[in-house]
Amino acid sequence: MIFLLTTVVLAYGSASAATLYRTDYAKFSGHVVDNESGKPVPRAAIYIAETESDFFKPPRKYKDEVPDYDSDASNRVFSREAANRYLFLMADDNGEFTTVWRHDAIYGVLSDKQELKTIAFVVAAQGYSERICSYKTTVENKVFVTSDEPHKLSDNPLPPIEIEKGSVRTLAPSPIFASLLRTRYPKAPTGAARDLYLKAENAFAKKKYEESIRFYKESLKITPDQPLALLMLIDAYYVSGEIEKTIEMGERYVELYPEIGFAHKIIADAAFNKGDMILNKKHLVKAMQLDLEFRHTYFDLCRLDGRYTRTPEGWLRPLAIWK
Residue 294: per-residue pLDDT: 73
Distance CA 117, CA 134 (A): 11
Confidence of residue 55 (pLDDT cuts 50, 70, 90): confident
Could you give the angle at which helices 295-304 and 277-290 cross, rounded to 10 degrees? Answer: 140
Please, what sign has the CA dihedral across residues 104, 184, 135, 152? Answer: negative
Confidence of residue 16 (pLDDT cuts 50, 70, 90): very low
Q: Name the residue among 10, 5, 2, 40 with its Cα closest to residue 25.
A: 5
CB burial class (10 A; 0-12, 13-18, 19+) of residue 110? exposed
More confident call, 244 vs 317? 244
Mean pLDDT of the chain: 79
Give yes or no for residue 205 having a pLDDT over 50: yes
More confident call, 205 vs 61? 205
Stated pTM of the model: 0.82
What does 234-245 look like in DSSP terms, one character per residue? HHHHHHTT-HHH
258-298 tens-digit pLDDT = 888 999 999 999 999 999 999 999 999 999 898 877 778 88
Residue 177: per-residue pLDDT: 65
pLDDT above 70 covers what percent of the chain? 71
Residue 1: per-residue pLDDT: 33
165-186 tens-digit pLDDT = 876 666 666 666 666 666 567 8
Confidence of residue 73 (pLDDT cuts 50, 70, 90): low
Kindly state the average pLDDT of the residues 221-226. Answer: 95
